[in-house]
Structure 1
Amino acid sequence: MKKPSGYALIRRHLRRYPRSLRQSLIHELDQLVTCEPVIGIMGKTGVGKSSLCNALFRSEVCAVNAVEACTREPQRVRLRFGSHYLTLIDLPGVGESLQRDDEYRELYRELMPQLDMVLWVLKADDRAFTIEEQFYQAVFVGYNGPQPPLIWVLNQADKTEPAEQWNWSSAQPSVLQAEHIAQKQQAVARQLGIAERDLLVISVRGRYRLSRLVEAMITRLPKQTRSPLVPHLQTGYRTEVVISSARTGFGEAVVEVIDRIIDLAPLPQVARSALQTVTHTVARAARTVWSFFFG
């Protein structure tokens, strides 16, 4: 199958590499371009997980596990936009069935290595987060293996008192609401034992700070999964920060791939050093054609 012109440009920069290395590099580049991010969405029923995903992503649902709401299994939703795929895993709500929380702890630990990121969604007008705190300590803090980045999302900020003062036209809280939102953010972060910067306050219904959430997602995702996420985003969230972070991450991922392949190749040291000197030229070429792959 003939590769499109974006690959042709990359190939021109790979001419100094031995044929076997070129083939490996093109294969690895394919893997980067077609990488499928997997994002876990946590939170109780009613916190707005579905509305958040609908607000952020424009992709078609191409496969859904139709399961009951009370299922013990996570619901996987696979999204497609063009040739790019994204998997969202809706994890069972913690604390909704106390007798199942032990099962959920095991389930989450099993899923952890599969996830590129976790969004844990909370409601801004909830008064206590004791169950979430306990579960977080037991599953995430107590987990010994590599963990996916976790972003806490405090949704429904528009319900913060005095809720009637929310400015719907400007998508902003009133001065008094903003004070209460900041206090709530501090209190929840303190209870969970996390940094305030790891708790993002948003309102899907109020269109409040969703761009900040997307930018946080892109900058915290593993570099190889940033670019494949971009095509799925609603147009308004593909900001300069998002594009720049994704493009940079793609270039860095290409450098890592090239370095790994060169290190594994049976080459004389002189040849190895010569190839390593053109690594960043290839990475620059990859960043140049970024829009071709992900734009």
Structure 2
Amino acid sequence: MAFFHSEADMKHPSGYALIRRHLRRYPHALRQHLLQELNRLVTCEPVIGIMGKTGVGKSSLCNALFRSEICAVNAVEACTRQPQRVRLRFGQHYLTLVDLPGVGESVTRDGEYRELYQRMLPEMDLVLWVLKADDRAFAVEEQFYQDVFAQFRGPVPPVLWVLNQVDKTEPAEQWCWLSAQPSALQAEHIARKQQVVARQLGIAEQNILPVSVRGRYRLSRLVEAMITRLPKQARSPLVPHLQNGYRTTSIISTASSSFGDAVVEVIDKVIDLAPLPQVARSALQAVTHTVARAARSLWGFFFG
């Protein structure tokens, strides 16, 4: 369903009417093209891959982040050995989560999964690779990451490594459930674990995010990282799907600013491709940032 309606439908003031008003100087055909492109921005559907071994808490993590229930958490066996696509809807916005089967089950299955992951990588905007904080080694993940990502030909989606269940970090009995914080000794061990994982996988330490769903620890930091790593056009459509506590002023500010930037890029692209005299092209480019400011101010109308 298109968000932008015909001018006949604009008898009452709305965000769409205001956008049209700012585009009134554009030739009709160009204005329609712009509205179509803006509509694509508003209706963009982010695709996030969820990777990791069975039992690392992928489903629990997703259920903690997003408003919709993702899939039943099963501690005995994997939910599925096939990619499970979950299409979430909130209002007019959609989000697709691709829950990929866990690595490390067997050599045969890992070989199948490598091909599967490589085939699916190009369609993803972001990958959350979930690790279990109390695992002692990550040789399987290291090999898999090198085989799938490092050797992939083409653009690779950004990866956030989620060090999950850090409340189990020794000494686990020292976790403070009331303040949702690790003890000083646990915090030291968590930091050391981040360093070990970064060194073993050959990745930047800031890409490893320690969290605990059960301990309500640093999930907001993970959401902030997701928003900044997603492509500009995918940031705002993610926000409506987040649990209430993660739709913070900072998250909304980043998303709305990115939406305005994406609008500028769309307008510049459409103007560059249009067969216009240079004078007309310059005149339209001069009002581009006015339209972008309007888009930012109307962010809540589209995504709130």
Which residue of structure 2 aligns with residue 280 of structure 1? 289
Unaligned runs of 5+ in 1: 63-67
Taking the aligned partners of 1:110 and 1:263, their CA distance within structure 2 comes to 34
Which residue of structure 2 aligns with residue 54 of structure 1? 63
For the 8 Å contact 1:60–1:81, the answer to whether it is kept is no
1:263 matched to 2:272? The reply is yes
Which residue of structure 2 aligns with residue 150 of structure 1? 159
For the 8 Å contact 1:252–1:283, the answer to whether it is kept is yes
Taking the aligned partners of 1:217 and 1:101, their CA distance within structure 2 comes to 27
Q: Structure 1's 142 and 78: CA in aligned 2 closer, same or farther, altered over 3 A? A: same
Taking the aligned partners of 2:110 and 2:68, their CA distance within structure 1 comes to 32
1:107 matched to 2:106? The reply is no
For the 8 Å contact 2:49–2:126, the answer to whether it is kept is yes
For the 8 Å contact 1:61–1:78, the answer to whether it is kept is no
TM-score by length of 1: 0.95
Aligned runs of 1:150-229 on 2, under 5 Å?
150-229=159-238
TM-score by length of 2: 0.92
- What is the number of equivalent residue pairs in this alignment? 290
For the 8 Å contact 1:51–1:204, the answer to whether it is kept is yes
Residue 101 of structure 1: how far off its partner (Å): 1.6
For the 8 Å contact 1:223–1:249, the answer to whether it is kept is yes
Residue 60 of structure 1: how far off its partner (Å): 6.2
Taking the aligned partners of 2:288 and 2:68, their CA distance within structure 1 comes to 34
Residue 95 of structure 1: how far off its partner (Å): 1.2
Aligned partner of 2:134 among 121, 125, 133: 125
For the 8 Å contact 2:78–2:102, the answer to whether it is kept is no
For the 8 Å contact 2:54–2:103, the answer to whether it is kept is no
Aligned partner of 2:42 among 19, 33, 37: 33
CA RMSD of aligned residues (A): 1.6
Q: Structure 1's 73 and 190: CA in aligned 2 closer, same or farther, altered over 3 A? A: same
For the 8 Å contact 1:61–1:80, the answer to whether it is kept is no
SS at match of 2:203: coil
SS at match of 1:39: strand
Write the letter of the residue equivalent to 2:34. Answer: L
Per-residue CA distance 1:55-91 (angstroms, 9 max, x = gap): 00013669xxxxx947543110111111111100001
Residue 43 of structure 1: how far off its partner (Å): 0.7
Per-residue CA distance 1:163-196 (angstroms, 9 max, x = gap): 0000001000001111111111111111010111
Identity %: 79
Taking the aligned partners of 1:56 and 1:47, their CA distance within structure 2 comes to 16
Taking the aligned partners of 1:60 and 1:33, their CA distance within structure 2 comes to 24
Per-residue CA distance 1:22-72 (angstroms, 9 max, x = gap): 10111111111111110000011111101101100013669xxxxx94754
Residue 147 of structure 1: how far off its partner (Å): 1.0
Residue 97 of structure 1: how far off its partner (Å): 2.5
For the 8 Å contact 2:85–2:99, the answer to whether it is kept is yes
Taking the aligned partners of 2:208 and 2:40, their CA distance within structure 1 comes to 32
For the 8 Å contact 2:44–2:234, the answer to whether it is kept is yes
Which residue of structure 1 aligns with residue 107 of structure 2? 98
Which residue of structure 2 aligns with residue 135 of structure 1? 144
SS at match of 2:161: strand
Per-residue CA distance 1:139-171 (angstroms, 9 max, x = gap): 111112011111000000000000000000100
SS at match of 1:151: strand
